[in-house]
Amino acid sequence: MAWSSACGKCLVSNSLRQAGVALVSVLLIVAVLMAIASRLLASHNLVINQHQNTFEQNQALHYAMGAETLARQALYEDLTTSGPDSDHRGELWAQQTMPFELDEGGFLEAQLTDMNGCLNLNSVVGTDSAAAMTRLKLMAQNLGLQPQIAETWKDWIDDDMEVTGFGGEDRHYLVAQPPHRTPNQPVTNTSELNLLQNVDREQLAMLLPHVCLLPNATTLVNINTANAHTLAALDHSIALGSVEPIVATERSFASVAEFTEIYPDFTPAAGALTVKSEYFLLHAQAQVGNTSVTLQSLLFRDPESGSVTVLTRDFGKLFRSDLTLTTEES
């Protein structure tokens, strides 16, 4: 009897042990399955998010490119309908537009800027480089900057290794950290100004709103769209204070002669003036969902045929809206 009782206890103990092992095995299998399921679910969500982001990116990109197409059409219609004789801010292409609401949940905003209204930095190596250098120095003085920036810039893009005044050539930049060389040719992106010696960010922030880089080194300044600092830099006889009232009003001069007749101080600079524009800058931003795409396109409009060509595209420029809203108080 004692042996039988002991065997019974052993059997019960073995059964309990086996049951415990089975339970642990089941729990382990359940834990492994839950881990696999969680991993699969996380991977599935990641794939969905990736596809969603890719879709939104493609949609935003196509909307931005659509804004470029619309801008080209607007510039073409402007020349063919209103004529090639004059461009000013009262025309359709220059009007501010509210952001477009998109069906996918987002918006599209675009703005066109007349690049003939700024001082072309590449003109310092053009056919009239001496006059261009004088204008750049005058603009720097009016902005409170050192005029030597003009010499530094000329040495950056001219095709020789001769130092101009306080400028610098390869031997000055090869000792910098990191070392680099001058391009010795006209450039297309204002970011290269950050590489100039003895020019800091604060100086650039003051200069950049009034200058541009265009492929044609003999670009003329449109008196209908230029700002005060650009017009005041055209000649020493033009005072910045006398220009500010001019740019504060809407200008739509039909010819340079008409402009200089009213403002004779600009007569010495008449050869650098025009009332037509050939270069325009489109800056657009499209946002779809949580994805945003910015596009900056430099456009050239042929003054004869009106056809508009895309010269450069840049998807890395920060978009800053120039839209201004006015409200009336009742």
What pLDDT digit, counting tens, does each position of 130-154 carry? 999 999 999 999 999 999 999 999 9
List, in order, residues 6 or more apart from 213 with CB less than 8 Å away.
120, 121, 122, 186, 187, 188, 189, 190
Read off the pLDDT of each residue in 33-60 and give the average, rounded to a whole number: 75
Average pLDDT over residues 110-133: 93
pLDDT, tens digit (0-9, with 9 covering 90-100), for 3-14: 455 555 566 566
pLDDT for 211:
95
Confidence (pLDDT) at 42: 73
Q: Which residues touch 155 (CB under 8 Å, ≥6 apart)? A: 163, 164, 167, 168, 169, 182
- Per-residue pLDDT band for 100 (boundaries 50, 70, 90) equals confident
Peptide bond just before 245 cis, omega within 30 deg: no
Measure the CA–CA gap between 207 and 191, rounded to whole angstroms.
Answer: 12
Residue 330 banded pLDDT, cuts 50, 70, 90: very low
The pLDDT of residue 11: 60
Residue 82 DSSP one-character state:
H
Q: With 90 as the cut, is the pLDDT of residue 277 above it?
A: yes
DSSP state at residue 214? -
Query: Does this model's pTM top 0.75?
Result: yes
327, pLDDT greater than 50: no
Share of the chain above pLDDT 90, in %: 52
User: Region 259-285: what's the mean pLDDT?
Assistant: 94
* Cβ-Cβ contacts under 8 Å for 260 (sequence gap 6 or more): 266, 267, 270, 273
Instruction: Give the pLDDT confidence score for residue 286 in this predicted structure.
Output: 93
- Span 235-257, average pLDDT: 92
Whole-number pLDDT of residue 135 = 95
pLDDT (0 to 100) of residue 13: 67
- Mean pLDDT, rounded, for 85-99: 88
Q: What mean pLDDT value characterizes the chain?
A: 87
155-207 confidence digits (pLDDT tens) = 999 998 988 888 889 888 998 888 889 999 999 988 899 999 888 889 999 99
